[in-house]
Amino acid sequence: MNKLVATLILPIAALALPTLAADTEARLVSIAQVENRPLSPKIMVIGSVHSRNNAELTTGVSGRLDWVQEAGTRVQAGDTVARLDKTRLELEHTEQQALIRREQINLTQLQRNFERLQKLSRSQSVSRNELDDASTALELAKSNLELARIKLDIIQDNINRTELKAPFAGIITNRLHQAGEDIGPAEAVVSLTDPEHLEIRLHAPLKHSRRVKVGDSLNIYHADGEFQASIRSLIPVSDVRSQTFEARLDLPGALDGSISVGELVSLALPIAPAQLTTLVPRDAIVLRSSGAFVFRINSDNKAERLAVTLGDGAGDWIAVQGQLQAGDRVVIRGAETLQDGQLVRFAPGQQHLAKGTS
């Protein structure tokens, strides 16, 4: 019986030895040092994405619409987006040209009459008053001809306006009138939005407006991740009811095509002066249902599991509260499978961090 038990125990013990050896083997990890840096407390506010170029286009002249571009059409700057019937204006243009010719004929006649009276005045055959009257009539005719030419230019400008042009490249977002409708000079015909040049607008409590300035970078949180944007302009005024100020931020060019007009984003807005804060790389944080923790490496190169409370983010770093101090070594790669008290070895190139301050 004893021989049988011994025969069974020996293979089981032999199988357990490699597992025990594996548990005591040093785990390969990458580490980084905890830092203390100034960081401002923040609140999260909601912002929205807007186009920097957005307009409802008017013709500036009245008339009947012949054609209007379809909504959803992408156009370039200078493309025609609507067209008015210009028959009446072309008739006015022809009429004005005829009036100009008549004014030119009248001016020529008055010029000849004035020159004749000038010759007669040398022999004192005409009075000074007659000559003055002729001179005045001549100047009035010149002025009338100039006014007639200006009016012709106005008519030509109105004819040009019957072709409504896009002032910038974009997409027709709305067709406000249809072909066949009569419109006034100030009535919008189409809405045009530029989807390429975007900005973020946020409205935040007015009391925090002094904590930001033009040029500051804010952390933006979007469905595709986190990025930073710079404040281009501030409007630190408010009405009594809203008690908010507005900030406009340039959208980074790298996000072109990944974010659209009308989307909502979250922004981290500073609300107090910067304070010295303990920061760790985001990759050091291990999240579990029980909370967040990090692995600190002690002087014996063993992992110590420490619970932390997460604070504000600062790029690739995040503020934490816990039993950490500047210079501590924390695991940033390999923490997911690491055990408390497990011996570690360091990734190549991290020999300078092999001795910590713990």
Q: All domains of the chain, ordered by start, with CATH?
A: 25-39+275-353 (2.40.420.20), 42-52+197-270 (2.40.30.170), 58-80+168-193 (no CATH), 87-161 (1.10.287.470)
Confidence band for 258, pLDDT divided at 50, 70 and 90: confident
Task: Give the pLDDT score at 12.
Answer: 45
Task: Give the pLDDT score at 306.
Answer: 92
Task: Give the pLDDT score at 311.
Answer: 84
* Orientation angle between helical segments 87-122 and 128-161, nearest 10 degrees: 160
Task: Give the pLDDT score at 355.
Answer: 60
Element (H, E) at 198: strand 198-205
Task: Give the pLDDT score at 125.
Answer: 75
Task: Give the pLDDT score at 224.
Answer: 75
The mean pLDDT value for 233-238 works out to 89
Half-sphere exposure (Cβ direction) of 211: Cα atoms closer than 13 Å: 19
Element (H, E) at 94: helix 87-122
The mean pLDDT value for 269-273 works out to 83
Task: Report whether pLDDT(36) > 70.
Answer: yes
pLDDT digits (tens, 9 = 90+) for 78-133: 999 999 999 999 999 999 999 999 999 999 999 999 998 888 887 777 888 888 99
Residues 6+ apart with CB under 8 A from 286: 292, 293, 294, 295, 335, 336
User: Mean pLDDT over all residues of the chain?
Assistant: 87
Task: Give the pLDDT score at 256.
Answer: 66
Task: Give the pLDDT score at 335.
Answer: 87
How many Å apart are CA 164 and CA 190, to the nearest integer? 10
Neighbours of 154 (CB within 10 A): 11
Task: Yes or no: say if 263 and 48 are a contact pair by the CB < 8 Å rule.
Answer: yes
Task: Report whether pLDDT(170) > 60.
Answer: yes
pLDDT digits (tens, 9 = 90+) for 208-228: 888 899 999 888 888 878 888
